[in-house]
Structure 1
């Protein structure tokens, strides 16, 4: 009898082992197979959430086929403590290992909506975009100029509902510090805008900055200053030898002039070369943007062409009348303009003028420059004749 009982027990044990092996194999198969998500979707890992809570939410949202298999697989991989707070985009059909990789990677949250506050010379603009899961290009929700256009209902509704939003401030290159501060005053999602002090000219790095709603505008300006200090220090350390620049501040001043003279990326080092060659030869820079800055003190654009009397008037910024660089920057230059100031193109150009395409024609001699000027004036005359008709 005991032999019979032992045989039955052995048989039962084998059956149990076979069943467990089958369950393990099934679990492994479901762990690695494509998930049930039919379309890409956003998923939020709440702050402080544990694996049990996240697993249940993933199964509830149809991202994984089984919360228990996801939980067991995550523990087996020893990654149950690696969950990172944030909002993530999960692609359609993502397997459990792929989902786990995404929600443990961390990094910036991918919110469905992005509000970008653009600071431009003609005034700020707000762009509201929706990111549709699975699509590369965001969808435009609203665009408006605060203080000029009526605030769209789509924007106010998103804010009122507390929808997760990525807030950004984008600063265009070439703005003066006054223009940056004035522009920030219209940002209704920032605090402390009324008490802002205008930072030194040139000290703000044009870039796009992620911010939190309700954060302090002064802190944002400080981030811009720290970024510009780093950019300037790195470029100064890597500058080419023989430049007629004695300090990083002089380099920043030259970079600001380059920034205002051209918006064509391929031209920056050529424009830099013209000014460096002029400084080396003792020629005056003769650049209109510095004259304009001397008139406006950086508080907005001139809104008209320069008058002969203004070009003839001696001011610290009139580079038609003074030698060398003006006393300081005339705008906040981009990193590209700063690098161009310290690494000009190797060329003998000492003149340039607009060529009608948005760029410039460069010349080594006055005779060649005069021909380029004549060509530009002919283009201007033709445009005026056309517009007059």
Structure 2
């Protein structure tokens, strides 16, 4: 057992003094190197930045992907030349987002979309997140507005419809040539110019006409695509029923083959009013026999051009008419038509229709004061028999037949189609 070293005696004063701790060892020369100090500082800063980035990423992801405030789908228009702050204000005003503008701007930069925000009209889905909102604007998938152009309108009427529609901009320099626009349902974004709409309708018409002309029956007596459009425009104005178009087309093609005048009322009306489309009154007797390039009671064959813009169905029906020998058709009183091959059979059908109309007229007795009341607003003008005037495809419009009987005095109103029943011989036997 080793002996402890002897403890040297301390004076009472020395015993009261604290014991001295040895100084810490001096840092090595390497630790005191400035490069090491700077490196440690940089490392510390990097650690702090990584922690900050992680926290920012977490909260940024929450902001970008959290459900937005929209309670239902909403269409919002982002104006042209709007800055990021302006876009943020519009979205906030419309209730699409509920974040600070600087957060929106920061999110745009975070998604690398600062130069890709496109103006336009956008549909934002219910509860769309901020990421979805920015993505929608970046993709530029603007709202497409559907516009339907009815078959049988003239080019002037179509331009008038486009002018009344406020989703389009600009004006149309000139009325397109009749028959060069295809009536159909189109979709356009807000702000599309009216000239662009016209150009698209013309391009579509050219494409569709080329396809139909390629598939036409080679036996039809129509020798050019332009003539096909002209005949189809007459078919379009004569019937609005899909199941009758090819048969009406057959009547006209049979008449052309046999060199019989087409005798179509809509051609007379077009010759009188042109692109305005509607006459607003019954055709007069004098107008049926008046010379006109469009009066198919006077001229042989087709008029010089289309009288409307026919739709795809009428073009197809005219290119491939029904295989019949019909030469006449007349309203059957139920919205359709009766077709016949001979004039005698046609006359019998006309007599049936007149008898039906006479019975309806006898059964319908209106008080004089009611008869004097003006027509309902927006209703088309009516002929003497109460049927709409031509231009609205009346179910009882006059149909191809033999040449008209001698005309009455020049200003006497002619019958508005086979539906007319007055007891006097019809102007044109339908």
Is residue 64 of structure 1 aligned with residue 97 of structure 2? yes
Verify the 8 A CA contact 1:41 1:92 in the aligned structure 2.
Answer: yes
Rounded to whole Å, the distance in 1 between the matches of 2:300 and 2:85 is: 72
Measure how far apart 1:59 and its partner are. 4.7
Measure how far apart 1:31 and its partner are. 1.8
Provide, for residues 84-106 of structure 1, a one-character-per-residue CA deviation record: whole Å limited to 9, x for no partner: 11233423311123212322233
Instruction: Show the counterpart of 2:137.
Output: 103
Rounded to whole Å, the distance in 2 between the matches of 1:170 and 1:75 is: 41
Rounded to whole Å, the distance in 2 between the matches of 1:377 and 1:355 is: 10
Q: TM-score, normalised by structure 2?
A: 0.57
Instruction: Show the counterpart of 2:331.
Output: 354
Instruction: Show the counterpart of 2:217.
Output: 241
Note closer, same or farther for the CA distance 1:33–1:339 as it changes in structure 2 (3 Å cut).
farther
Rounded to whole Å, the distance in 2 between the matches of 1:211 and 1:17 is: 45
Instruction: Show the counterpart of 2:379.
Output: none
Measure how far apart 1:341 and its partner are. 2.9
State how many pairs are aligned: 324
Instruction: Show the counterpart of 1:43.
Output: 76
Measure how far apart 1:296 and its partner are. 5.1
Flag structure 2 segments of 5+ consecutive residues without an equivalent.
1-23, 32-36, 367-430
Is residue 28 of structure 1 aligned with residue 28 of structure 2? no
Flag structure 1 segments of 5+ consecutive residues without an equivalent.
111-165
Aligned residue runs from structure 1 range 85-96, under 5 A: 85-96=119-130
Q: TM-score, normalised by structure 1?
A: 0.62
Provide, for residues 259-312 of structure 1, a one-character-per-residue CA deviation record: whole Å limited to 9, x for no partner: 2112334433332233223334444323222234445566641611553x6555
Other structure's SS at 1:87 match: strand
Measure how far apart 1:83 and its partner are. 0.9
Other structure's SS at 1:388 match: coil
Is residue 341 of structure 1 aligned with residue 318 of structure 2? yes
Verify the 8 A CA contact 1:31 1:70 in the aligned structure 2.
Answer: no
Is residue 78 of structure 1 aligned with residue 112 of structure 2? yes
Instruction: Show the counterpart of 1:116.
Output: none
Is residue 262 of structure 1 aligned with residue 239 of structure 2? yes
Verify the 8 A CA contact 1:277 1:350 in the aligned structure 2.
Answer: yes
Instruction: Show the counterpart of 1:291.
Output: 268
Rounded to whole Å, the distance in 2 between the matches of 1:184 and 1:31 is: 41
Other structure's SS at 1:238 match: helix
Pairwise CA RMSD = 4.9
Verify the 8 A CA contact 2:208 2:312 in the aligned structure 1.
Answer: no
Aligned residue runs from structure 1 range 298-313, under 5 A: 300-301=278-279, 303-305=281-283, 307=285, 311=288
* Greater Cα offset, 276-285 or 15-24: 15-24
Greater helix proportion = 1
Rounded to whole Å, the distance in 2 between the matches of 1:228 and 1:336 is: 17
Structure having greater relative contact order (Cα 8 Å, sep ≥ 6)? 2
Is residue 231 of structure 1 aligned with residue 205 of structure 2? yes
Note closer, same or farther for the CA distance 1:59–1:24 as it changes in structure 2 (3 Å cut).
farther
Instruction: Show the counterpart of 2:230.
Output: 253
Verify the 8 A CA contact 1:356 1:379 in the aligned structure 2.
Answer: yes
Note closer, same or farther for the CA distance 1:74–1:372 as it changes in structure 2 (3 Å cut).
farther
Instruction: Show the counterpart of 2:304.
Output: 327
Rounded to whole Å, the distance in 2 between the matches of 1:211 and 1:62 is: 22
Note closer, same or farther for the CA distance 1:343–1:226 as it changes in structure 2 (3 Å cut).
farther
Bigger CA radius of gyration: 2
Verify the 8 A CA contact 2:123 2:142 in the aligned structure 1.
Answer: no
Note closer, same or farther for the CA distance 1:33–1:310 as it changes in structure 2 (3 Å cut).
same
Rounded to whole Å, the distance in 1 between the matches of 2:116 and 2:270 is: 54
